[in-house]
Amino acid sequence: MKRHSFWKYFFITLLLIICLFPFLWMLITSFKPESEALLISLPSKITFENYKKILFEYKFYRYFVNSLIVATVSATFSTLFASLAAYAFAKKDFPLRNFLFWLFISSMMVPGLLYVIPQFLIVYQFQWINRYEGMIVPHLANVFGMFLITQFLKDVPDSLLESARIDGAPEYKVFFNIVVPLTLPIIATVFLLNFQFHWSNFLWQLLVAQTESMYTVPVGLAMFKSAHEEAYALKMAASTVSLLPIVILFFFAQRYFIEGITQGAVKE
């Protein structure tokens, strides 16, 4: 039994090393001088010059701020709207509820690229080109998040909601004080997925952000790579900066998931 466990953990560890090696190599190279970027070795001297150049000389700090604003605002509001819609579909009875729900679900089968031209024309008419509104508003609807939260909400007991209404709680308090705490795990998951999508969104931000001051990290990284083909250490530093918020968010969210499940997983 112990021998079996040893080999199991050995192969899991080996697989983990293989999966993490590209990221580890990217991180190591980002601290190397440019002359050592292609050497298969640890850096002879750890330097932060690559990060200083990327953040300030090549203005990645501005791209980082733009991405942080776009991803945070978009993820917050798209998760809120998805939660409100899921609450209506899971716990309310209204005409054409099932028809509208499956109509929204069927829209997921339409490739996202088909929406680009109509969305761009609408944004252009609103004069939102090169503005945060144009980068955020078109992607606030999240059908997949609505579907996930709806399925989770079906397990929340109706008796809890009814008891709150009997006590005189208005509908918004029922939602924020009862529904949200009970669905924290799935809401956090949807928020993380939304944040990751908006942080790494390249095509739409490339179309809307038409000046360098409005570039997000993916757009700025693509422009930097095409303009500096031989700057390997700088590109690794830029790539590390682009991954940092996602890694930090997922790292801290693990414990948050556990707390949400233990506090709010209630079934009838």
Residues 6 or more apart from 197 whose CB is under 8 A from it?
Answer: 139
Q: Give, as one character, the DSSP assignment of residue 175.
A: I
Residue located via tokens 């397990």: 155
Residue located via tokens 């039994």: 1
Name which of 94, 187, 91, 111 is nearest 146 in CA terms. Answer: 187
Q: Half-sphere exposure (CA, 13 Å, Cβ side) for 208?
A: 31
What is the pLDDT at residue 265? Answer: 44
What is the pLDDT at residue 268? Answer: 43
Query: How far is Cα 21 from Cα 15, in angstroms, rounded to an integer?
Result: 10
pLDDT means per 10 residues, the chain with 268 residues, are 72 87 89 84 85 89 94 95 94 91 91 89 94 94 91 85 85 88 86 91 92 91 80 89 86 65 45
What is the pLDDT at residue 110? Answer: 87
In terms of Cβ atoms closer than 10 Å to its own Cβ (0-12, 13-18, 19+), residue 125 is: exposed
Task: Please identify, in words, the CATH class of the domain defined by 48-264.
Answer: mainly alpha
Residues 6 or more apart from 38 whose CB is under 8 A from it?
Answer: 232
Indicate if the alpha-carbon torsion angle 90, 94, 97, 98 is positive or negative.
positive
What are the φ/ψ torsions at residue 201 (nearest 5 degrees)?
-65, 120
Residue located via tokens 């983990």: 16
Q: pTM (2 decimals)?
A: 0.85
What are the φ/ψ torsions at residue 265 (nearest 5 degrees)?
-80, 95
What is the pLDDT at residue 263? Answer: 45
Q: Structure tokens of 240?
A: 């590390």
What is the pLDDT at residue 255? Answer: 67
